Amino acid sequence: MKQAVRKAVFPVGGMGTRFLPATKSMPKEMLPVVDKPLIQYAVEEAQAAGIEEFIFVTGRGKTAIEDHFDHSVELQDLLATRGRTDQVDAIRAWMPPAGQVAYTRQQEPLGLGHAVWCARHLVGDEPFAVLLADDLILADTPCLKQMMDAYATSGGNMVAVMDVPREHTKRYGVLAVGRDDGRLAEVKGLVEKPEPAAAPSTLSVIGRYILQPAVFGHLDRQERGAGDEIQLTDALARMIGTAPFHGLRFEGERFDCGDKVGFLHANMAFALAREDLRGPVASFLRQLNRRL
C-alpha cells in the first residue's frame, strides 16, 4: 500500500509582473478565467483528487487569497435575503473545511524550490502534491486525479508532463526519459530551463507534482540553480534512482496562464466548455473570424 497523499502545497508567492497593471494590488492567482480565480481551479482540482489539507505558501500582498477561502458573512447574508441559497450552497461546497487550510509566507522570492521548502513543517513526513495555479488544465478527469490513479501503482515521485516545441524548453523543467510506455515515462534525468540545443528531450514538466517528503532533505541544501533561484527541479533530479520517478502524459489541454496569450486562450476554451456560455461566445468568435 502506498501512503495516501492527503496534503497539497500551492506556491502563490510570485509577484505576477507579467500581468501588470492588473496585478499591482491583486495576486495573479486571483485573475479569473471566465468567473473563477485561477487559484480556485487549482484547489478544486486538489479536492477532486482527494486532498484534505491545503497549504498555501504566500507572500506580501496576497491576503485576497486568504479572504477568498474564508466565509464572507455579509455576502452570504445578502445572498440569503435575496433567496440565492443556491449560490450560498455553492460557496460552501468549495470552501476548504475549517482547520484544513494553512498559510505560511515565503519571506523572500528565492524560487519554487524555496517556496515548497517553506511548507516542510506543515507537510511533515508524508507524500504530498504541489499545484502551480498558473498551469490551468481543461480535462474530463482532473490532472491531479489522473496522477493519483497512476501513483497508486507506481508510488515514488511523479510529475505531469507534455511535449513542448523545442524552442520552448527554456521555460520548463525537461526530462531525460528512460522506459516509456507512451503514457508513463521513467525519469532518468531532469534539467531546469535548458537551451533548446542542450535539452535532453522536449518532454517538459507542467505544474503538478506528487512528491515524497525526502525532497525536503535535498531542498535543505538551499543550492541555487537556473536564474540563481533554488529550483524544485534540481532537488527532484537528486532523487532519481532513490525511488520510482515518473512523468505522466496527462489527458487534457493545458493553458499557461502566466502568459497573456495563454490566459486569453484559457478564457475562450473554458467559456466554450460551459453550456451556459458556449452559444454566445462561439457566435462572437465566428464574427471575429470574419474580421481576420
* Binding-site member from 29, 45, 53, 135 for ligand G1P (CB under 6 A): 135
Q: Is the peptide bond before 21 cis (omega within 30 degrees of 0)?
A: yes
Q: Does 266 bind ligand G1P (CB under 6 A)?
A: no
* Binding-site member from 205, 210, 215, 248 for ligand G1P (CB under 6 A): 205
**Nearest 5°: phi and psi at 93?**
-65, -35
Tell me, what DSSP letter sits at residue 130?
Answer: E
Q: Record the cell numbers describing residue 21, joined without a space.
A: 497593471
Piece of the chain touching ligand G1P by CB under 6 A; list 26-34, 86-94, 178-186, 198-206: 198-206
232/271 with CB nearer ligand G1P:
232
117 vs 105: CA distance, rounded Å: 11
Nearest alpha carbon to residue 249 among 200, 195, 208: 208
79/135 with CB nearer ligand G1P:
135
User: At closest approach, how far in Å is the CB of 205 from ligand G1P?
Assistant: 4
User: At closest approach, how far in Å is the CB of 171 from ligand G1P?
Assistant: 6
Q: Where in 18-47 is the site for ligand G1P (CB under 6 A)?
A: none
Beta-carbon contacts of residue 264 (< 8 Å; ≥ 6 apart): none
User: At closest approach, how far in Å is the CB of 15 from ligand G1P?
Assistant: 12
Phi-psi region of 141 (alpha: psi -120 to 50; beta: other; left: phi over 0): beta
Judged by the rule CB under 6 A, the positions of this chain that interact with ligand G1P are 112, 132, 135, 172-173, 192, 204-207, 231-233, 258
